Amino acid sequence: MRSSEASRIYFDRAADQLDLSDNMRRLLLTAKREVQVQIPVEMDSGDVATFIGYRVQHNSARGPMKGGLRYHPQVDLEEVRSLAALMTWKTAVVNIPYGGAKGGISLDPSKMSPRELERITRRFVDAIHDLFGPDVDIPAPDMGTTPDVMAWIMNQYGKYHGFSPACVTGKPVEYHGIPGRDEATGRGVGSLTLKLLSRLGRKIAGTSVAIQGFGNVGSHTAKFLHDAECRIVAISDAFGGFHRTEGLDVLELFRYSNSHSGRLEGFSGGDHMTNAELLALDCDVLIPAALGGVLTQENARAVRAPIIVEAANAPIQPEADLILDELGIVVLPDILANAGGVTASWFEWVQNRQYYQWGINRVRQELDRILGEAFEQVWQLSTSRKVTPRTAAYMLGVGRVGRATVLGGIQ
Ligand code: NAD
């Protein structure tokens, strides 16, 4: 099942609970604007290659649209469209004044030189610079794009519109980015996991946690929970995982990964395990923080953790979601669990607009506050309406966008 079909199922469940009319459903599901542009670029070899770039601006009822820019060979309009809608619900769940958007270029960044990527990025900005900007639509990093790419976007946009650091977020800290953005998604996943444990009446110290993925999100989640005295009993990356019942040495994992090009292969501080074994590990909390769609109707019944926190986008397929619910497993959904990144992006935009700098402590404090409030609202709705936290999160997000649409008026 494609991610677009999955998010449509979750939208429909929430819309049924909210008793939304068919007209409102259609309005909320339709993108405000979809753009596809041609990007012809001269490659290092002297050949001219033509790429296709997309930007989908889904909804602006609650504010300027916000969402990442993805460089990946499988990027297409349908995927970008569904990710844009997901951003609309995500920004609404955490109640930050944004709508949702997403963009991408179909290419494999690992096969390009930095200069080629820069030319492609600048050419893409040339094609769409009139369609985005600080008050309209603010791109950010996503799969395959880095803070460097965001710096090129800001610089190229500035050639048309003057100095506008708030036109894009996720920039390098030395180039109008902010400290704390890098860790924000993982920190958010970690702090929300602690809130969930408390709500469920579980002890935090000693809680056993298995995390799939040791990239940006997985590594910062591991560090946060390790600092909170949880036991990180298993960690994996694309090449396999490691297990230690007493808890892995997370700082050693960081050191190892930093000195091995981000890979954990060969780490000697734990027993080797496969990614499939990690997902079925007997532990207190399972955190998929790598790919989408890893829990399916084939492997959902093997899950033994009573709590799953979705750090990755859509790691659980809808059929698996139903099975996990039936098994009594509590799932904290992606649109809340990994919203720390977009929340910190908002802080970057706010500071850029004010030509002011907060410092890391304020970033962390505000992040914890906003995510904490969103968690409480989702939890209350979930218990009062007797729906899963996922349906409650969608109800909150979709409901807020619907109300803003009505209050703003259609004419
Ligand atoms: P990343 O590229 O930094 O790290 C991905 C990790 O997953 C790596 O450790 C990689 O080895 C591992 N991985 C890749 N393929 C795998 C496989 N087949 N099996 C197991 N592990 C595999 O990515 P990231 O930024 O940490 O993002 C992870 C997830 O979180 C993605 O779903 C992303 O969309 C989502 N997300 C990220 C952010 C953010 O701010 N970075 C925000 C919201 C959501």
Residues 219 and 157 in one domain: no
Domain assignment present for 387 = no
The number of domains in the chain is: 2
Residues 225 and 324 in one domain: yes
Domain assignment present for 354 = no
Domain assignment present for 14 = no
Ligand 1 binding pocket includes 94 (Cβ within 6 Å)? no
Task: Supply the CATH number for residue 298's domain.
Answer: 3.40.50.720
Residue 80's pLDDT is 95
| Final residue before a domain boundary, out of 139, 169, 199 | 169
Domain assignment present for 351 = no
Residues 99 and 194 in one domain: no
Q: 318 pLDDT band (50/70/90 cuts)?
A: very high
Are the C-beta atoms of 328 and 306 separated by less than 8 Å?
yes
Residues 247 and 306 in one domain: yes
Residues 205 and 234 in one domain: yes
Task: Supply the CATH number for residue 88's domain.
Answer: 3.40.50.10860
Q: How far, in Å, is the centroid of ligand 1 from the Cα of 270?
A: 22
Question: CB within 8 A of 295, min separation 6: which ones?
Answer: 279, 288, 303, 308, 315, 316, 317, 320, 324
Domain assignment present for 237 = yes
Least confident of 74-78, 89-93, 98-102, 229-233: 74-78
Domain limits for position 333? 184-337
Rounded to an integer, what distance in angstroms lies between the CA atom of residue 30 and that of residue 85?
9
Q: How far, in Å, is the centroid of ligand 1 from the Cα of 209?
A: 17
Alpha helices by DSSP H, 111-215: 114-128, 147-161, 181-199
Count CB atoms within 10 A of the CB of residue 268: 8
Residues 213 and 119 in one domain: no
Rounded to an integer, what distance in angstroms lies between the CA atom of residue 39 and that of residue 37?
6
Residue 126's pLDDT is 98
Q: Which of 32, 66, 90, 102 is catalytic?
A: 102
Q: Is pLDDT at 411 greater than 80 in this prediction?
A: no
Mutating to test ligand 1, I would choose from 102, 291, 342, 347 the residue with most ligand atoms within 8 A of its C-beta, which is 291
| Final residue before a domain boundary, out of 169, 195, 221 | 169
Residues 190 and 281 in one domain: yes
Residue 301's pLDDT is 98
Residues 143 and 199 in one domain: no
Ligand 1 binding pocket includes 216 (Cβ within 6 Å)? yes
Q: How far, in Å, is the centroid of ligand 1 from the Cα of 291?
A: 6
Residue 7's pLDDT is 83
Q: What pTM was computed for the model?
A: 0.96
Domain assignment present for 315 = yes
Rounded to an integer, what distance in angstroms lies between the CA atom of residue 373 and that of residue 201?
19
Q: Is pLDDT at 4 greater than 80 in this prediction?
A: no
Question: Closest ligand 1 atom to the C-alpha of 241?
Answer: 20
Q: 31 pLDDT band (50/70/90 cuts)?
A: very high
Residues 80 and 215 in one domain: no
Ligand 1 binding pocket includes 71 (Cβ within 6 Å)? no
Tokens of 325: 């619910």
| Final residue before a domain boundary, out of 306, 337, 368 | 337
Residue 6's pLDDT is 81
Domain assignment present for 321 = yes
Residues 225 and 325 in one domain: yes
What average pLDDT does this structure show over 300-315? Answer: 97
Q: 1 pLDDT band (50/70/90 cuts)?
A: low
What are the tens digits of pLDDT across the range 339-389? 999 999 999 999 999 999 999 999 999 999 999 999 999 999 999 999 999
Residues 160 and 230 in one domain: no
Dihedral Cα 107, 109, 113, 118, nearest 10 deg:
80
Residues 244 and 122 in one domain: no
102 is annotated as an active-site residue: yes
Domain assignment present for 284 = yes
What are the tens digits of pLDDT across the range 118-175? 999 999 999 999 999 999 999 999 989 999 999 999 999 999 999 999 999 999 999 9
